[in-house]
Structure 1
């Protein structure tokens, strides 16, 4: 028997009174429906798009890694269950656009073990789709939907299993050629369209990101208050994770970096198991994920609560570089202006503090042109932020090939994270050795400038030292 889909014209949502049922806000559902409509408006008339969510991944034996949905899929659906696919059909002539969700069937027995499942009927009204089907019906439905469709949109080459499945669908359609049926004549990469949409956040997205940044800011402040000489990095990491979860965040947005002393000179340090010693600095790069959106904050502070003079000199340099970078954030300014502004300040400071020999390195312009700063500053000054901590979207201006960097627009969210990393080396003043400092904030580009949304994490020398004198 052919499986039957659920459509708005013939059925409503299945009722389930159990208290464990997840709740979706109408605002999120409406936003996802609007995104689907915007995407279909960019597709060729009658074209079909297919976008699966992430697969569950085994950790070891019969244990899986904690499940996390695919960001693109969630952006269009608001749906967090695995084994799900969104299919969109663009309008053509009198045929209206359609959005379809394929998901797991209701299964009361499995819900005892794994938790609530919407099933196609309940998902229909809860998530604002035009039709829903069981996931087992995907192959049969796609063969019908692709028949005589002019084009297919999906994430080309991003998943071998999906590529193979698409080939099977197209082969099935070709076998109907004697009936006058033709497969799509063109295939397009779906992701660039979604990347540009995701780059500009709407009000509901920005509200969620503000909340995520506020939670993470409080977590950093908690870590500062808790830190004492002799503690291990993992003890301080635990303070961060506690604050994330007690505030309602679902996950860390990435593996937290808690790096003391020389460990702070390892950009993606992950062991988090060393003791924090008196007189060292502690660099924490950590942020939570809330309702699918990431935050990303870095703070650096003294383990004993007081900066030494050399530490203060380097810290104030990085803070000044961040201030210059923040000043460059406003609509119309090129993205690279952020990095360029920070680099000017850092290069001058490297010369002033003797990290670079003025007689050999020359002027600030020479330092920048020759990239003499790279031993001490080897990364960019930020990145896009959104559903992914390194979020999607082109940094280049694709509309103007002669312009290597795109202009900033209101609704973009960026991180601003200059740093300085001093390893032992000949000619480098010893008082700066084994010191890594990074200061990172999350910033929304507004119509008139920018707003820092991570200010709950103290970053001035005075504010950090004052906070760390308080009881944990």
Structure 2
């Protein structure tokens, strides 16, 4: 049994996948159909591919983990409203790439109503879509659009007994992404576990850190823990940014040496069963904050803690972000880094010069998960089941008008937070962020 097997949450059950499909079908007109393609293998170089990762929307509705599949939803169809097309069984290829489920296996393992192998796809799709008026598909997916256009051309060319021209196209993603925004208990358990793995990895990196290591060596510590604990690897490209590299928000080179007296910013999270963790911590390479580093770090930490306390049903991400900017401005003014001279509001200076990103994003099957941030033109209110990040930061440029001790310092602190009926749950609380706790953990090495 794997070392971590007893602590792992169970996978999403077949009934939950059925409920998800039912909810989407119930939101569609009776004469509609959904066409949703899976991900395909992507070439890395010449004849080798990147590790396969299923399309998040496709996974959300099916749980099916093979490439080159197609999910078709058909409201009201007597023979079954959910049809899957999948790779043909091919014993010769399976020797090289592993066993395929095939149509029978897909029905049995995934609770699909009907499944057919891809060799039958084109002919059967024409039959399945006959009489359907609107085809819902991801309009941003070029391959899905090409297939839909081909199907529409064939249906239009067929003799009809009056009636509308078949297959007008509509975008399925707003309906599906609105559904994905609210997480079930099973999804929250997976996100909680991804957060726990991610937190343990950050703790491991803190213990391992010392001057002279390379950024990529801390990256190796993180990603070893991701895999050791049963994750599939990083949920996104890991950021390990020492010193001034922390001022590059999406720094992923991870090549430089970690220097005594500098900070290192790590933004990294594990993926577990396709659900993402996303944590940022900033800590001293040598295990001890300098007075200036500590003072600036405490400004960000206070803003982050107050933002987390503000997470509850009914508030908005905009309001939380505005609170963070106010707290950062107040902290910088207390350190005499920022002054209120009456020409420009301190909050505007912070947003323009020291904090150029938002405080939060949705989290789920994608690290920047789907769902709109506004409804009817207004910031949407948080509701239970939403999962967000809280990640304020300060990035001090190397400018002559700033106190020398603060120049070139980049700090970000990020946790994953689930909105609950009473307030919120921090899913990544197991990794320390108080100065004393960070220094104590780094002493353990």
Q: Is the counterpart of residue 426 in structure 1 residue 400 in structure 2?
A: yes
Which residue number corresponds to residue 442 of structure 2?
468
Q: CA deviation at 1:116?
A: 1.8
Matches within 5 A, 1:290-301: 290-301=272-283
The answer for the alignment partner of 2:352 in structure 1 is: 374
Residues 356-371 of structure 1: pairs in structure 2 closer than 5 A:
356-359=338-341, 366-368=345-347, 370-371=348-349
| Structure 1 residue 385 corresponds to structure 2 residue 363 | yes
Structure 1 residue 180: Cα displacement: 5.1
SS at match of 1:300: strand
Deviations 1:58-108 (A, max 9, x none): 11111111111100000000011001011000127xx47610111012222
- Distance in 2 between residues matched to 1:27 and 1:343, nearest whole Å: 38
Structure 2 matches for 1:330-409, cutoff 5 A? 330-359=312-341, 366-368=345-347, 370-398=348-376, 401=377, 403=378, 405-409=379-383
| Contact 2:38 2:68 survives alignment (8 Å) | yes
In the alignment, what sits opposite 2:5? none
What secondary structure sits across from 2:323 in the alignment? helix
Match of 1:306 in 2: 288
**Quick one: which of 34, 58, 67 aligns to 1:73?**
58
Is 2:101 the counterpart of 1:123?
A: no
Aligned alpha-carbon RMSD (Å): 1.7
Q: Residues of 1 paired with 2:245 and 2:179: CA distance?
A: 38
Partner Cα separation in structure 2 for residue 438 and residue 153 of structure 1: 40
**Structure 2 SS opposite 1:390:** coil
Q: Distance in 2 between matches of 1:192 and 1:326?
A: 28
For the pair 1:139 / 2:122, whether they are aligned, the reply is yes
- Residues 407-465 of structure 1 show CA distances to partners (whole Å, capped at 9, x for unaligned) of 00000000000000001113111100110000000000001100001011111001000
TM-score normalized by structure 1? 0.90
Q: CA 1:185–1:276 in structure 2 vs 1: closer, same or farther (change >3 Å)?
A: closer
Partners of 2:47 and 2:418 lie apart in 1 by: 42
CA contact (8 A) 1:173 1:181 kept: no
**Aligned counterpart, 1:46:** 31
Question: Does the residue aligned with 2:124 lie in a helix, a strand or coil?
Answer: helix
SS at match of 1:197: helix
**Alpha-carbon spacing, 1:98–1:26, altered in 2? closer, same or farther (3 Å):** farther
SS of match in other structure, 2:352: coil
Query: Counterpart in 2 of 1:252?
Result: 234
Of the structure 1 ranges 374-383 and 140-149, higher mean CA displacement relative to structure 2 is found in 140-149
Write the distance in 2 (CA, Å) between the matches of 1:388 and 1:27. Answer: 16
**Alignment length (residue pairs):** 437
- Whole-angstrom distance in 1 between the partners of 2:167 and 2:236: 40
Aligned partner of 1:267 in structure 2 is 249
- Cα distance in 1 between the residues matched to 2:38 and 2:12: 21
Distance 1:35-1:445 versus aligned 2 partners, 3 A rule? same
Tell me the equivalent position of 1:236.
Answer: 218
5+ residue gaps, structure 1: 1-23
CA contact (8 A) 1:147 1:182 kept: no
1:184-233 CA-partner distances (Å, limit 9, x unpaired): 35321000001100000001100000000000000000000000111111
Residue 110 (str. 1) matches residue 88 (str. 2): no
Matches of 2:107 and 2:309 in 1, distance apart? 47
Q: TM-score, normalised by structure 2?
A: 0.95
Aligned to 2:142: 160
Please tell me whether the aligned partners of residues 304 and 390 of structure 2 are also in contact (alpha carbons under 8 angstroms): yes
Q: Distance in 2 between matches of 1:25 and 1:204?
A: 8
Displacement after TM superposition at 1:54 (Å): 1.1
1:252–1:26 Cα change, 3 Å: closer
Structure 2: gaps (5+ residues) = 1-8
